[in-house]
Amino acid sequence: MIRVILVLCLFVIAGVNCSVAEEITIAAASDLSFAFREIVAEYEKTTANHVRLTLGSSGNFYVQIQNGAPFDLYFSADITYPRKLEEAGLTVPGSFYQYAVGRIVMWTGNESRIDVTQGFEALRAPTVKKIAIANPKHAPYGRAAVAAMEYFKVYDQVKDKLVLGENISQAAQFVESGAADVGIIALSLALASPMQAAGHYWEIPSDAHPPIEQAAVMLMGGKNQKSAKAFLSFIQGAEGQTMMKRYGFVVPSPR
Amino acid sequence: MNWIAIAVTFKLALLTAAVLLVVGLPIAYWLTFSKWRWKFIVESVVALPLVLPPTVLGFYILVAIGPHSPVGRFYSDVVGHPLPFTFEGLLLASILYSLPFAVQPFATAFEQVDRRLIEASWTLGVSKLKTFFRLIVPLSVAGLITGAVLSFAHTLGEFGVVLMVGGNIEGETRTVSIDIYDEVQALNYAGAAKTALLLLAVSYGVLLLVYAMNRKVWAVWPQR
């Protein structure tokens, strides 16, 4: 009897260890919000591994990782952060890979009378009181939005109308809720079904701002490199790529 | 509703209240009975989290326990992983953040104990420690419960500090307030509303308890 209990205990301990071993923690830029919720759910279904997903601004994650945050994988909306982490020796060598070039769009709700197809000229209209963008200090999409406004020479006229989201999801939420009249948000968020249902968008030409190159790295501070690799190969595989493409995450082939 | 976040939050709040009940008692005792002229300096330090923006407190804690500080290095050498963005780090931050919510009600309760009783106990040869546990504590139970309950409730709703030192990790540092923030950003208003309602109900219930107790609607300790 005692032996049976002992064996059972071993199984329990092994089981606990297994479940801990198969868990990874991912820090992902919030433009991946909708895409990653879907991909993670699919990945968990096919592999029975658990993913702890944290979404936020790439710049904040960069600071947190430098301060020892225990993430296994870091998907940044700005390629410079993973690059800097790589230089600092905080990443697993050879894990760096570019997963997309981000696009921005001008988005407005269905009830709004603002015609976003006019492009940046639409922002000058007096009916536009608040424009939501991500905080350009630490969010790459915010920087791209400012660059595009400067490119179209409207920044000085509209800068007092800007409201800053802590990350690009919050900027999207500001405009989706109607609190802001227009938002400059990530295409990946505009393509998500709740945003599609609530409004429409105009794609900002990609030459209006420096490319939003996005990259992922595996981190030295992570606890589970094997599972992290498994997730990376899932996302780079056919199924993962189909889902990423649906949200506009593609690396354009060089012209 | 995100039950993992709810569990993390309640665990954090319970542990914070428990630690503060232990740590807060000697601080409150000293603040009440010390005759030191410069006591107000310590009093002000204890009260600082009441007025300091949580981000400032969070920032200092992050720097103090991060891998670039001696404290942070010592911790990660001993335990094997850095303190920020872990449950333990969050617990430490919560304890500092809720310190005045425990210590101030404790000290107020101690002050209200009749000095003559305490001095009678001392002059009858009962040690200070024994006087504390057999006289002062029983007579301040309402204040002690108020302090514990308030620090519990305050930790439930903490946001800025968690955002700075927590890192929003599921099952570890993602608390209810952070979860609500996440749900709103994911445009899941229904999910956010449910969790928000739970937080509202619990907070109101906790305050009802505190105010009812201080009004002596029901006696916590038999009246003598």
* Same-fold call for A7-101+213-246 versus A102-208: yes
Amino acid at residue number B94: S
- In sequence order, what are the residues at sequence separation of 6 or more whose Cβ sits closer than 8 angstroms to the Cβ of residue B95? B16, B19, B20, B23
* CA gap A113, A181 in Å, rounded: 9
Residue A28 has pLDDT above 60, yes or no: yes
pLDDT class of A14 with cuts at 50, 70, 90 = very low
**What's the pLDDT score for residue A13?**
44
Say yes or no for a CB contact (<8 Å) between A52 and B62.
Answer: no
pLDDT over threshold 50, residue A214: yes
Chain A residue with CA closest to B68: the answer is A67
Residue contact A54–B167, C-beta within 8 A: yes
Q: Decide if pLDDT at A7 tops 60.
A: no
The residue count of chain A comes to 255
B66 contacts in chain A (CB < 8 Å)? 67-68
Average pLDDT of the segment spanning B49-54: 91
User: In CATH, what number does A102-208 get?
Assistant: 3.40.190.10
CB of B203 less than 8 A from some CB of A: no
pTM: 0.81
Q: Which helix (H) or strand (E) is B217 found in, with range?
A: none
- The answer to whether residue B27 scores a pLDDT higher than 50 is yes
Q: Give this complex's ipTM.
A: 0.73
Residues of B in Cβ contact (< 8 Å) with A139: none
Superfamily of domain A7-101+213-246: Periplasmic binding protein-like II (3.40.190.10)
Predicted confidence at residue A16, as pLDDT, reads 43
* pLDDT digit string, tens, across residues B182-202: 889 888 899 999 999 999 999
The answer to whether the CB atoms of A68 and B81 lie below 8 A apart is yes
Whether chain A has a CB inside 8 Å of the CB on B84: the answer is yes
DSSP-derived 3-state class of residue B102 = helix
Exposed / middle / buried, residue B133 (Cβ in 10 Å: 0-12, 13-18, 19+): exposed
From the number of C-beta atoms within 10 Å of its C-beta (0-12, 13-18, 19+), residue B5 rates as buried
Domain segments of chain A as ranges: 7-101+213-246, 102-208
The two beta strands, A23-29 and A73-76, are parallel
- Decide: A122 and A200 in contact? Cβ < 8 Å: no
pLDDT in tens, A114-157: 888 888 999 998 889 999 999 998 889 999 999 999 999 999 99
- Cross-strand partners of A27: A54, A74
Phi, psi of A108 (to 5 degrees): -145, 155
- Which pLDDT score is estimated for A216? 95
Read off the pLDDT of each residue in B100-121 and give the average, rounded to a whole number. Answer: 93
Statement: residue B145 has pLDDT above 60: yes
The helix/strand count (H/E) of chain B reads as: 12, 0
Residue B44: band (very low, low, confident or very high) from pLDDT cuts 50, 70, 90: very high
The answer to whether residue A169 neighbours chain B at the CB level (below 8 Å) is: yes
B168 interaction partners in chain A (CB closer than 8 Å) = 54-56
Which position has the token pair 């309760």?
Answer: B109
Q: What's the confidence (pLDDT) of residue B218? A: 56
Structural domains in chain B, sorted by start: 3-214 (1.10.3720.10)
- Residues of chain B with pLDDT > 90, as a percent, come to 61
Q: Kindly report, residue by residue over A39-72, the tens digit of the pLDDT.
A: 999 999 988 889 999 998 898 899 889 888 889 9
Do the Cβ atoms of A167 and B185 come within 8 Å? yes
Contact yes or no for A70 and B168 at CB 8 A: no
* Edge-first strand listing for the sheet containing A23-29: A50-56, A23-29, A73-76, A212-218, A97-102
